[in-house]
């Protein structure tokens, strides 16, 4: 059984991984983020703190998140998945 903990904000993700998003990218990610992990809508995602996972509501959302994050030098490990 896997356990996922925490509700990380986009700013929290930036702080923990020592990178800074552009205002445009931060706004895009914040518009897609949801506080609730239950029944994540297809165009939304939730960020878990432990383990560091971005749980996306669809493959398309996961691709959008990845397309933004791959442009930055991110320290540490972040997983992107589909729930």
Q: Between residues 35 and 3, which one has the greater pLDDT?
A: 35
Position 56 scores a pLDDT of 98
Position 2 scores a pLDDT of 80
Quick: pLDDT tens for 28-48: 999 999 998 888 999 999 999
Over residues 17-38, the mean pLDDT reads 96
Q: How far is CA 31 from CA 27, 43, 46, in A?
A: 6, 9, 11
Per the confidence metrics, is the pTM higher than 0.85?
A: yes
Quick: pLDDT tens for 46-81: 999 999 999 999 999 999 999 999 999 999 999 999
């Amino acid at each position: 059984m896997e356990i996922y903990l925490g509700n990380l904000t986009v700013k929290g993700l930036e702080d923990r991984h020592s990178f800074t998003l552009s205002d445009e990218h931060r706004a895009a990610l914040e518009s897609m983020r949801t506080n609730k992990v239950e029944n994540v809508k297809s165009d939304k995602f939730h960020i878990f703190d432990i383990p560091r996972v971005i749980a996306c509501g669809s493959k398309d959302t996961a691709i959008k998140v990845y397309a933004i994050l791959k442009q930055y030098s991110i320290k540490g490990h972040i997983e992107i998945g589909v729930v």
